């Protein structure tokens, strides 16, 4: 698609902004399924106006997803309509356009991307060969839509993800994988003044575990195999038992309880999990939310810790999982319960290389500025499409910034060009 062809079919920027204002005005906090359902209706109506076709609404676990299928799909256009912003955020940060900048909850992540998607597809002579999938739970890890995303991607030759761009409009050519865990410490309560020695302080044990968790990234990135690990009880045939729980230590110092690794994805991996990690940087394992205790005069009987892990390779993701599940208690009378695991596999550069080269050719043909590519630590549903074996290019949505932050914004002048780029990519893949 040449610049002249695009200009002959493109919709006026003012119309794109009207569509964007409509989507931003409909709040769609991921945790509020009723709000997400309302948003799905608004997005579906807008898609119908632009594409002349009605969406299939797919409700899974109470969450509303949308799909348009044109012929036999070979290209997947992927987005989400849920946001991280609680209902009422629009009152504090209303929709606005001033000085060439659009603002409002979810404007960059990723409602502007949806508008660009619709206008790009509408500009093509025919949408035949395209599937549009817009999910309603991406911001919470895609628990109900993951299988739908992966199933659709496996049948396609390319997936274009309409998440916002990286800094300066760069496309996202690699993403870290994500894993999420909760470490629960079970202790024994007691009166903090009368009988503290009769308790097993879950809060103090949690402090030990925070330090252990904080040290996992170093072990993964340096390729070391040291650190404290509990191996768990074994069954008679030598296999690990099926529980993720770890027991506390008995008086003789032996650990009780079971430990198993559960179902975790494997896959081909050129990196051996050690040394240099390239543009994505090293693995990170971060203790985040924690809590312990009930009253100021009671030895805590329970404590909890949430853990966020970001990894550049599948090897690193598996290693983090091994080390998380191998955590063991330090204080007699306490035990650990570890839940969670890998959520999104890494989107490695090999998944995007061919499409990124194509995007640069399309951009040059359209007279757009040369495209840059960036690896990022945040994850998206593009991780799933790449993991399913579908070539994937991400960050094709809005140019702007401030995702999940009060300064979330979109550079409106970039919207037509990004829509042109997407239209050109779809046309090139389907040619």
Least confident of 187-196, 229-238, 322-331: 229-238
Q: How many CA atoms lie within 13 A of 54 on its CB side?
A: 4
Sheet holding 284-292, edge to edge: 255-257, 245-249, 335-344, 177-186, 302-311, 284-292
**pLDDT number for residue 147:** 98
**pLDDT number for residue 271:** 34
Backbone angles phi, psi at 44, to 5 degrees: -60, -40
Residue bearing the bigger pLDDT, 254 or 118 = 118
Confidence of residue 113 (pLDDT cuts 50, 70, 90): very high
pLDDT tens for 327-352 read 999 999 999 999 999 999 999 999 99
pLDDT tens for 405-423 read 999 999 999 999 999 999 9
**pLDDT number for residue 279:** 72
The CA distance from 301 to 294, in Å, is: 8
Which residue in 270, 309, 370 sits closest to 183, CA to CA?
A: 309
pLDDT of 2 higher than 60: no
Q: What angle do CA 222, 226, 232 make, to 5 degrees?
A: 130
**pLDDT number for residue 292:** 98
**pLDDT number for residue 277:** 55
- Which helix (H) or strand (E) segment is 173 a member of? strand 171-175
Least confident of 43-52, 263-272, 295-304, 332-341: 263-272
Residue bearing the bigger pLDDT, 8 or 140 = 140
Phi-psi region of 367 (alpha: psi -120 to 50; beta: other; left: phi over 0): left
Q: Work out the average pLDDT over 373-388.
A: 96
The CA distance from 315 to 425, in Å, is: 32
Sorted by sequence, the CB contacts under 8 Å of residue 234 that are 6+ apart come out as 240, 241
Q: Work out the average pLDDT over 11-38.
A: 96
pLDDT of 53 higher than 50: yes
**pLDDT number for residue 255:** 35
pLDDT, mean over the chain: 88
**pLDDT number for residue 372:** 97
pLDDT tens for 228-264 read 333 333 333 333 333 344 444 433 333 333 333 333 3
pTM score of the predicted model: 0.82
**pLDDT number for residue 12:** 81
Confidence of residue 223 (pLDDT cuts 50, 70, 90): confident
**pLDDT number for residue 11:** 60
Q: Work out the average pLDDT over 143-169.
A: 97
């Amino acid at each position: 698609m040449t610049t002249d062809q695009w200009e002959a079919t493109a919709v006026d920027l003012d119309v794109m902004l009207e569509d964007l204002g409509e989507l931003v005005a409909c709040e769609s906090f991921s945790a509020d399924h009723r709000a997400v359902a309302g948003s799905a209706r608004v997005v579906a109506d807008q898609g119908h106006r632009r594409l002349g076709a009605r969406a299939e609404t797919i409700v899974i676990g109470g969450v509303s997803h949308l799909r348009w299928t044109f012929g036999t799909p070979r290209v997947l256009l992927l987005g989400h309509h849920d946001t991280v912003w609680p209902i009422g955020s629009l009152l504090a940060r209303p929709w606005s356009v001033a000085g060439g900048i659009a603002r409002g909850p979810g404007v960059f992540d990723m409602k502007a991307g949806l508008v660009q998607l619709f206008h790009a597809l509408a500009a093509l002579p025919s949408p035949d060969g395209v599937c549009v999938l817009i999910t309603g739970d991406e911001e919470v890890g895609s628990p109900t839509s993951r299988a739908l995303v992966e199933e659709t991607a496996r049948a396609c030759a390319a997936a274009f993800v309409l998440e916002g761009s990286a800094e300066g409009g760069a496309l996202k050519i690699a993403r870290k994988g994500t894993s999420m865990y909760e470490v629960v410490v079970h202790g024994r309560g007691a009166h903090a003044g009368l009988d503290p020695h009769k308790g097993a302080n879950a809060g103090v044990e949690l402090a030990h575990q925070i330090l252990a968790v904080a040290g996992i990234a170093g072990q993964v990135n340096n390729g070391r195999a040291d650190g404290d690990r509990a191996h768990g009880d074994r069954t008679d045939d030598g296999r690990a038992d099926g529980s993720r729980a770890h027991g506390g230590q008995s008086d003789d110092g032996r650990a009780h309880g079971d430990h198993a690794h559960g179902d975790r994805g494997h896959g081909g991996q050129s990196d051996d999990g050690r040394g240099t990690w390239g543009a994505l940087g090293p693995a990170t394992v971060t203790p985040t939310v924690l809590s312990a205790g009930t009253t100021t005069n009671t030895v805590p009987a329970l404590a909890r810790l949430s853990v966020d892990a970001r990894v550049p390779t599948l090897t690193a993701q598996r290693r983090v999982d091994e080390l998380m599940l191998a955590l063991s208690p330090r204080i007699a009378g306490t035990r650990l319960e570890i839940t969670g695991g890998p959520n999104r596999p890494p989107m490695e550069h090999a998944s995007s290389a061919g499409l990124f080269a194509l995007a640069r050719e399309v951009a040059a043909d359209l007279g757009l500025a040369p495209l840059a590519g960036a690896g990022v630590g945040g994850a998206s549903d593009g991780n799933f499409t790449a993991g399913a074996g579908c070539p994937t290019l991400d960050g094709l949505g809005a140019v702007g910034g401030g995702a999940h932050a009060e300064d979330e914004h979109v550079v409106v002048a970039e919207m037509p060009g990004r829509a042109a780029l997407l239209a050109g990519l779809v046309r090139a893949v389907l040619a």
